[in-house]
Structure 1
Amino acid sequence: MSSLVAQEGLKIDWANMPTYNTIMAVAVGAGLITLVMLGRELLRAPEEVEPDGWALTFGALGTVLTTTGLHMTLTWPLAAGGFPFDNIIFGETSLGFGVLLLAAALYLWKRGAVALAAAKPIQALARVAQPITVFVGGLGLSLVAIAAAGIKYQLFAAPAEEPISGEFANHPMVEATFMSLLIAIVGLGALAFAVLVNRVRSTGTAGVWGRITGWLWGLSGVLFLLFGAMNFFTHIGLIVNTM
């Protein structure tokens, strides 16, 4: 009987469904954390910021997210396994974040030292970043919309064959709620960032928006990084259990 159950268990054609949202999640988490770290350093001691180091960091993370996000957005690899919506959720958002990180890396590499040498470096950087807040805010709203869809349609539930997460396979709202809240927090952080940049540009001070953005992105970044790291184990287990 047990062999019959095993034969009838979930099988996935992994050759036709490449899955790399593991490294995407780690890169997203690291990107959010490092943005908070840079913002904190800029507000406390801008003269100590080393733009080349941050350019390298954002360039590395942006490359990972842009390449994987672009491939997922254009080819929809997860559709083959019955998860076409995940290509939108993970692919398009990672692509957007990755391009933003690459843009930040390029600017810091080419113009970072000049901006930091200005009389009011924080305002100078805010003036540069202000136009892109339209896109950042749009991505924030998109993430909130994804979170709403995750709750309504009970997305993100792992199959029983996946270790750890699969323990909640019979309770799809558990992971749907966790992932939706996590994505919503990132989205709210993006909206707060847009307000923060415009406030710094006009007043020269971050006010409460610096703390709000830092907490939202810092918390969600840590959770994304840890969840992505854990998924290297759970996804390998899922592959082994469904080959």
Structure 2
Amino acid sequence: MILYNTLVGFCAGIVILTVADVIRRHPRAALSGHGVVLVAVGAPLTVLSAVAALSWPLTVNPPINVAFFEPSLLLGVLALVAATALLRQGDTELDSAGYSRLRPLTWLVFAVGLMLVSIGSAIFSYGLVGDAPRAEPITGRFQGWENSTFGVVYFLAAAGCLAAPQIHTMTARFVMRWSWTVSGAFFLLFSVLNYRTHIGMLVNVGTGSNHQW
């Protein structure tokens, strides 16, 4: 079993949080430092998501490749595009003309929101996200929460995407900022936790040990 979801989730969380911070800093929203961060995490996010989406390494639960890695691949590409735009503009304010240039991209983000709504509904309908196996320390001891939690987080991230075409309004920026801050923080922190739990699971499976924490 090949696990890419630790680094993919880590990078995805940072991308989402970085974009939320750009929106928080409005109107001084085009910051070159944010562009550097988006390149640093967007590159591995794109590569690993592409490999996972094309090769289907998670044979234990193949639908996760569709629900997790395909959106992550698109997020990685969008991160690199956004990084290019931020680095080209530099540390300048994003005026009304800048928002006009963003409009085609906001509709793409809106379409991603529709994708996330569809995936979120599939998570609830089909029980797509299974509980951690008993061999996995920490999370394997708590059952029955992952599917519903991920469904809610997908819907939350989708809310920010669906508000994107109205980015010129304060209400839309508020929704985008907070929905992406919360969902991005979840992906980041859950992936950080998974570095410990997945290593522990592989140790348990490989050596026959029974580490629970």
**Structure 2, gaps ≥5 residues long:** 207-213
TM-score (norm 2): 0.89
Residues 200-211 of structure 1 mapped to structure 2, 5 A cutoff? 200=168, 206-211=169-174
**Structure 1, gaps ≥5 residues long:** 1-16, 201-205
1:134-189: per-residue Cα shift (whole Å, max 9, x none)?
221111111111111111111222111112221234x3xx2100111111111111
What is the letter of the counterpart of residue 99 of structure 2? A
Partner of 1:70: 50
Partner of 1:9: none
Cα pair 2:6 2:192 within 8 Å, conserved: yes
Distance 1:19 1:221 in 2: 20
Distance 1:53 1:42 in 2: 15
Distance 2:30 2:70 in 1: 31
Partner of 1:134: 107
Q: CA deviation at 1:122?
A: 3.0
2:149 to 178, 181, 196: 178
Distance 2:137 2:163 in 1: 35
Partner of 2:198: 235
Cα pair 2:22 2:30 within 8 Å, conserved: no
The CA RMSD over aligned residues, in Å, is 1.7
> Residue 78 of structure 1 aligns to a residue in which SS?
coil
Q: In percent, how many aligned pairs have the same letter?
A: 33
Q: CA deviation at 1:50?
A: 6.7
Q: CA deviation at 1:87?
A: 1.0
Distance 2:128 2:204 in 1: 21
Cα pair 2:107 2:164 within 8 Å, conserved: no
Distance 2:197 2:180 in 1: 25
Query: How many pairs does the alignment contain?
Result: 205
Partner of 1:12: none
1:148 matched to 2:126: no
Structure having the larger proportion of residues in helix? 1
Cα pair 1:160 1:168 within 8 Å, conserved: no
Distance 1:237 1:167 in 2: 13
Cα pair 1:190 1:213 within 8 Å, conserved: yes
1:19-52: per-residue Cα shift (whole Å, max 9, x none)?
1111111111111111111111123xx2xx6733
Cα pair 2:109 2:162 within 8 Å, conserved: yes
Cα pair 1:18 1:77 within 8 Å, conserved: yes
Q: CA deviation at 1:191?
A: 0.9
1:163 to 129, 137, 140: 137
Partner of 1:95: 73
Q: CA deviation at 1:229?
A: 0.4
> Residue 90 of structure 2 aligns to a residue in which SS?
helix
Distance 1:164 1:57 in 2: 31
Q: Following superposition, which runs of at least 4 residues in structure 1 exceed 4 angstroms of deviation?
A: none
1:56 to 36, 58, 62: 36
Q: CA deviation at 1:18?
A: 1.6
Distance 2:201 2:97 in 1: 49
What is the letter of the counterpart of residue 67 of structure 2? I
What is the letter of the counterpart of residue 66 of structure 1? T
Partner of 2:210: none
Cα pair 1:147 1:180 within 8 Å, conserved: yes
